[in-house]
């Protein structure tokens, strides 16, 4: 009985492997990319790429396990939803108001340690931000918020 259950589960898992979400892989557009447009310091650029770009850009780096259904659906959902709120690859087409708003949200998320998502840091140790790294990132985003954005919460 137990064996039959395991076999059925294995069969389902194998069949499920054919059901995959479309992956995000867009060329970098220097006229729209956040890093290209704002030329952050090397440190901040590195932080953005390792801690934010996997969910907030058109160039996520997919880990090997992202090939597995259902993990892939879960990851793709994070990317799609993350980009809906903040898409670093569309920075150039955001209106000034939207930029200021996103930058303010980013500062808040980073300060409250809500970004990068905790689940992400389980497998991406280099995205576990130190206090200094959080300060570097929020400093960068407050420059983008266009001044007067330092209000807490």
Contact positions toward ligand HEC, by CB under 6 A?
A: 51-52, 54-56, 78, 81-82, 85-86, 102, 105-106, 109-110, 115-117, 120, 137
Please state the closest distance from residue 72 (CB atom) to ligand HEC, in A.
Answer: 14
Tell the residue number behind the tokens 């960068």, with chain if given: 140
Choose between 13 and 113: whose C-beta lies nearer to ligand HEC.
113
Q: How far is CA 37 from CA 29, 30, 61, 90, 95, in A?
A: 10, 7, 21, 11, 14
Inter-axis angle of helices 42-51 and 131-144, nearest 10: 100
Q: Which is nearer to ligand HEC, 12 or 42 (CB)?
A: 42
CB of 81 to ligand HEC, least distance (A): 4
9 versus 139: smaller Cβ distance to ligand HEC: 139
Cβ proximity to ligand HEC: between 3 and 130 the closer is 130
Judge whether 100 and 128 are in contact, CB under 8 Å. no
Q: Shortest gap between Cβ of 12 and ligand HEC (angstroms)? A: 27
**DSSP conformation class of 52:** T
Nearest distance from C-beta of residue 105 to ligand HEC, angstroms: 4
Question: CA of 29: how far to CAs of 44, 84, 99, 141, in Å?
Answer: 19, 18, 17, 21
């Amino acid at each position: 009985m137990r064996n039959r259950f395991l076999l059925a589960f294995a069969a389902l898992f194998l069949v499920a492997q054919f059901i995959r979400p479309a992956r995000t892989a867009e060329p970098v557009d220097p006229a729209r990319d956040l890093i290209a447009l704002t030329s952050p310091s090397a440190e901040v650029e590195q932080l953005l790429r390792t801690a934010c770009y996997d969910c907030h850009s058109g160039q996520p780096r997919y880990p090997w396990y992202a090939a597995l259904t259902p993990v892939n659906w879960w990851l793709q959902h994070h990317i799609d939803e993350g980009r809906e709120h903040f898409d670093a690859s569309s920075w150039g087409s955001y209106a000034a108001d939207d930029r200021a708003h996103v930058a303010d949200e980013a500062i808040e998320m980073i300060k409250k340690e809500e970004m990068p998502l905790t689940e992400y840091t389980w497998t991406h140790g280099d995205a576990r931000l130190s206090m200094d790294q959080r300060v570097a990132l929020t400093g960068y985003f407050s420059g983008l918020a266009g001044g007067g954005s330092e209000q807490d919460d």
